[in-house]
Structure 1
């Protein structure tokens, strides 16, 4: 389905919602990344990023446990969402350090944002493109800090 001017879309913009219990540093880093993303990209159809305190979340389609998911409805008048598991943050900090732990979570957001772009453009989901473009997004974000 291609977008046309005659279709009414839901509200635009990227939003972030945090569950209680999310590490404050994770929360603030994700909010900062979202502010930066909004300044660099267009979000013509609202997408909400839900930060979950779970270690992993269940993929709605495959039922497997994953660290991030993107809900992409067939109907482009339905608002979509991204869910990001942050429950392994402390474990990641002990394994990789704080910066790399935060980077892993931001990388999950960036990856799902690329899938959002693919969805907006009516493209097939391409994991290689999502990996490459998410790294480019993170590099650009790091350069802006």
Structure 2
């Protein structure tokens, strides 16, 4: 089975001939985000950029919040926001990292950072599902996102001792 982060079905959806398309993965941090979270996210993003192509720019906003309120009102750790079939408007991801210190006390630093990176990878899997027009049930989307987030983090873990 092909890795969905590497499928190129997006070529059918996005017209790159107009010259205005921005590609890549970008990070934006709330100014008071923990420096360790900032470092770990930047290193993870550098790895992702080396390994994968992001055909339409996606910005990950790392928020100094315990949870984020999703469009349906649920309080969650991460969200992926897009506009159905409109590839003109760039998608974005929001990730909650405001409880990092609490997670450190409960789980230890490595596990706390891994939880944040897993959330990023989970939401990025939703990005690849969307950009490649994958047809899945909502349960299927979540299961696939969880599976690929772990897969990507396992690959990343092979490149270092600690997140």
TM-score bracket for this pair, using the shorter chain length: over 0.9
Q: Is it true that 1:53 corresponds to 2:53 in the alignment?
A: no
CA distance in 2, matches of 1:80, 1:110: 15
Q: Does the C-alpha gap of structure 1 residues 28 and 42 become closer, same or farther in structure 2, counting only changes over 3 Å?
A: same
Q: Does the C-alpha gap of structure 1 residues 4 and 88 become closer, same or farther in structure 2, counting only changes over 3 Å?
A: closer
Aligned residue for 1:38?
A: 49
Q: Is it true that 1:113 corresponds to 2:124 in the alignment?
A: yes
Q: Is it true that 1:3 corresponds to 2:13 in the alignment?
A: yes
Aligned CA RMSD, in angstroms, stands at: 1.6
Structure 2: which 5+ runs fail to align?
1-9
Q: Say if 1:51 and 1:86, in contact at 8 Å, map to a contact too.
A: yes
CA distance in 2, matches of 1:29, 1:65: 24
> Please, which of 103, 108, 116 is the counterpart of residue 114 of structure 2?
103
What is the deviation of 1:65? 1.0
Q: Say if 1:10 and 1:78, in contact at 8 Å, map to a contact too.
A: no
CA distance in 1, matches of 2:68, 2:16: 36
Report the TM-score, using the length of structure 1 for normalisation.
0.93
Q: Which consecutive segments of 4 or more residues in structure 1 shift more than 4 A?
A: 6-9
Aligned residue for 1:71?
A: 81
What is the deviation of 1:39? 0.6
What is the deviation of 1:124? 3.5
> Please, which of 126, 138, 145 is the counterpart of residue 130 of structure 1?
145
CA distance in 1, matches of 2:16, 2:25: 23
Q: Does the C-alpha gap of structure 1 residues 7 and 72 become closer, same or farther in structure 2, counting only changes over 3 Å?
A: farther
What is the deviation of 1:5? 3.9
3-state SS of paired residue (1:128): helix
Q: Does the C-alpha gap of structure 1 residues 33 and 77 become closer, same or farther in structure 2, counting only changes over 3 Å?
A: same
- Greater Cα shift, 116-125 or 74-83: 116-125
What is the deviation of 1:85? 0.4
Q: Say if 2:14 and 2:87, in contact at 8 Å, map to a contact too.
A: no
